[in-house]
Amino acid sequence: MPKKLSKKQKAATRAREQAGTQTQTRPPAAPGQLRQTSLSGFVKRDVSHEIAKPIRPKQRDNKAPRSQVMERPTPSQLYIQLASQTPQQLSAPRALLVVVDLNGTLLKRWKYSGTNKSTLRPHVHEFLDYVLANHKLMIWSSARPQNVNVMCTKLITPEQRQKLVTIWARDTLRLSPQAYDRKVQVYKQLSWIWNDSSVQAANPHQKEMWSQSNTVLIDDSIDKAASEPHNLVEVEEFEAHDRQIQSDTYLLEVKAYLQTLSLQGDVSAYMRSQPFKHSSASQLSSRTAAGTDHVIFND
């Protein structure tokens, strides 16, 4: 005779029978559907068939624009007024203050880790020889002072360096300590030069001051000349690719343009009406030498 079950045992038996009936009547869960486990009753998702999608990293933009941390300067009303005058030609040439950028203008500095390799722009020595012999040369670079010193050592001789008016680097651009170490847009305001007594002392004309009438900035960035746009000779950035190595004539053309400017009473007035324009290599074929003086230096 079977043993009688207590009330608790009967309740447990009914619960097991009900659970077994639900398990038998429920169809198997399809992949990705919800299902109920037989132990805890918790609902969870079957993800055994799914493949995790790869997360694509964001690509870095190597040509990202420089951060704008300084207000862009604008030409003064007096500057515009003087540059708007009719150009007047002089009877004899005079010395100009020629302010030249380094990287991208006179040479290409390769920023490899642990190296100070540089490639000089074609005709750079001929250009520098002309400027040093006929004008006053100042170097103004936005690079750090130590890098400027390295570039100058490879570009000019110690004797030529003695003839420079001065060398200005990143520490003259009036940047905040935070901006100094960042890739930011900088400006070369020529008024800073004109207000510098040591620069003015280098003027060979005793009765004349360096000003917009006799100063020329040579740079590969038009933005840097925002405050004095009619004193800029903008050249193509020198990146030392094959075309430039083989046929770049910018410095020869700038040399010829400076010869014209030396006969102007106010270079800003002439440059406003007759800005520098690049000529094709074929137009200067008769002036280019068979060999160019581009050189690659290594430390």
Length in residues, the chain = 299
pLDDT at 156: 97
Mean pLDDT of 252-271: 99
Reported as a pLDDT band with limits 50, 70 and 90, residue 242 is: very high
Average pLDDT along the chain: 83
Count CA atoms closer than 13 A to 164's CA, side-chain side. 19
Residue 127: closest CA among 254, 267, 264:
254
pLDDT at 114: 61
Reported as a pLDDT band with limits 50, 70 and 90, residue 279 is: confident
Q: What is the DSSP string of 74-106?
A: ---HHHHHHHTSPP-B-SS----EEEE--BTTT
Alpha-helix residue ranges (DSSP H) falling in the chain: 7-25, 77-83, 124-134, 145-155, 158-163, 177-180, 190-194, 197-200, 242-247, 250-261, 267-273
pLDDT at 70: 83
pLDDT at 255: 98
pLDDT above 50: residue 276: yes
Rounded CA-CA distance 180/299 in Å is: 26
pLDDT at 52: 44
State pLDDT tens for residues 187-234.
999 999 999 999 999 999 988 999 999 999 999 999 999 999 999 999
pLDDT at 111: 79
**DSSP character at residue 264:** B
Mean pLDDT of 59-72: 62
Among 222-231, 270-279, 289-298, which is the least confidently predicted range? 289-298
Q: What is the DSSP string of 164-188?
A: -S-EE-GGGS---HHHHTS-B----
pLDDT at 116: 75
Helices 124-134 and 250-261 meet at what angle, rounded to 10? 20
Domains and CATH numbers, the chain: 93-277 (3.40.50.1000)
Mean pLDDT of 67-72: 79
State pLDDT tens for residues 85-122.
999 999 999 999 999 999 999 999 987 756 678 999 99
